[in-house]
Amino acid sequence: MILKNLPYEWLIGLRYTRAGRRTGRNGFISFISFISLAGIALGVAALIIVLSVMNGFQKEVTDRMLSVLAHVEVFEPEGGLPDWRAAAQQAFRHPEVRGAAPFVETQAMLQHGAEALRPAVVRGVLPSEEPQVSDVAGRIRYGSFDALQPGEFRIVLGIDLARALQVGVGDKVTMMLAQGTVTPAGVVPRMRAFTVAGVFQAGHQEFDAGMAFIHIEDAQRMLRLSSPAGLRLKLADMHRAPQVAEELKKLMGGQLEVRDWSKLNANWFAAVQTEKRMMFIVLALIVAVAAFNLVSTLVMTVTDKQADIAILRTLGASPASIMKIFVIQGGIAGVMGAAAGVAGGVLVAQNIDVIVPFIERVLGIQFLSRDIYYISTVPSDMRWPDVIRIGIVSVILAFAATIYPSWWAARVKPAEALRYE
């Protein structure tokens, strides 16, 4: 009943789309149409799956980075924060702030023995407060984070840094700071022996190979500071860190510097975004190739249906109506292909944690070896805005592919088309 109420252009377009049930030339045209539809579906599904996996890796790496980094850092470039607890209470006035802890940070060289020498970012923290803003204490592989006690001069190293220095819990490392002490013999670097109290593994190469933690009071003594350099804050929603950082800057006064975690790793995030855009363009071209296969399908259909077109024109159909028939035929194929691709891509992206292990078991391989990669499973983070954008782009490309064949069909002259019929 619904089909009977449709305009005749829709009825004919739908009939041409289903014309492949017959054999011969019509069946061949329908086969080519099916290949075009399948190509669109595979391209759309591949695009959704690849972007979901890339989002998953980005989310995994970000989570590991934020196990060490704070969401927001507030610091005084000149004099530090003598009353950091008052500054923390001021920060807690913002509803997004969930935790605060003081810190001191500096660059140093760590040495063990005569040859093992490595650069590191040394962060002075308060062990009792640090769990409010990071998960370093939960990432300890050996030793204890709570062993960092004031005046004991103990240090917690990243796992790759500890391996490079060839040290374990209980060993001694020498910390050398660029800030030197002036003596009659010249400027001598500040040096101090620290005992390794623990080893952490964040799962991120930059931190595992180049970061160390000491007690904040020991850091202040080494740097000759009277107070912490600033505060590290944890937010309810890390994705709102840039907006919250701007609001905190106004809330806590203009003299304080406020920076969020995305600015601390701006180069990495810029590289990831560029990579995602390029991947989207490359895979969208695959979808475009499949969509423009509809051109050949519609051109063959127009050639096959010239007699039908001539009869319709003789009965009073306008060129616009003829054009609409083939736009509908190609558009239906494009929409069906995009819908099938979206359904398949979403299904795979949401179950990739089951599909990939199954493939690994069947083939007897492991895509991400535990001995090489920190992330040994293929993560997936499907985002509906990406899915919607991919579906819209594929449908637009499919409709664009129908323009030339439909325009050609509208130009068919009835007399010439019926001459040899």
pLDDT above 90 for 154: yes
pLDDT of residue 348: 93
> Any idea what DSSP says for residue 203?
S
pLDDT, greater one: 265 or 346: 346
Where residue 22 falls among pLDDT bands split at 50, 70, 90? very low
pLDDT above 50 for 405: yes
pLDDT above 70 for 183: no
* Mean pLDDT, rounded, for 177-199: 76
pLDDT above 80 for 222: yes
Domain boundaries defined on the chain: 3-62+269-418, 72-262
Please give the Cα distance from 388 to 345 (Å, whole number). 12
* Mean pLDDT, rounded, for 351-363: 87
Q: Which of 59, 47, 41 is nearest to 280 (CA)?
A: 47
For all residues of the chain together, what is the average pLDDT? 83
In sequence order, the β-bridge partners of residue 61 are none
pLDDT above 90 for 5: no
pLDDT of residue 23: 44
pLDDT above 50 for 186: yes
Residues 45, 50, 53, CA angle at the centre, nearest 5°?
Answer: 125
Where residue 49 falls among pLDDT bands split at 50, 70, 90? very high
Whole-model pTM?
Answer: 0.74
Q: How many other CB atoms are there within 10 angstroms of residue 156's CB atom?
A: 30
Q: For the chain, what percent of residues have pLDDT higher than 70?
A: 89
pLDDT above 80 for 180: no
Please give the Cα distance from 291 to 44 (Å, whole number). 11
162 Cα distance to chain centroid? 30
* Mean pLDDT, rounded, for 373-388: 82
pLDDT of residue 142: 92
pLDDT of residue 24: 47
pLDDT of residue 21: 45
For the stretch 112-151, pLDDT in tens is 987 788 999 999 999 999 999 988 888 899 999 999 999 9
Q: What is the 3-state secondary structure (H, E, C) of 230-282?
A: EEEEEECCHHHHHHHHHHHHHHCCCCCEEEEHHHHCHHHHHHHHHHHHHHHHH
The region of weakest confidence among 12-26, 162-176, 340-354, 407-421 is: 12-26
pLDDT of residue 30: 67
pLDDT above 60 for 1: no
pLDDT above 90 for 214: yes
Please give the Cα distance from 43 to 379 (Å, whole number). 21
Where residue 376 falls among pLDDT bands split at 50, 70, 90? low
For the stretch 55-114, pLDDT in tens is 888 888 888 887 788 889 888 777 678 888 888 888 899 999 999 999 999 999 999 987
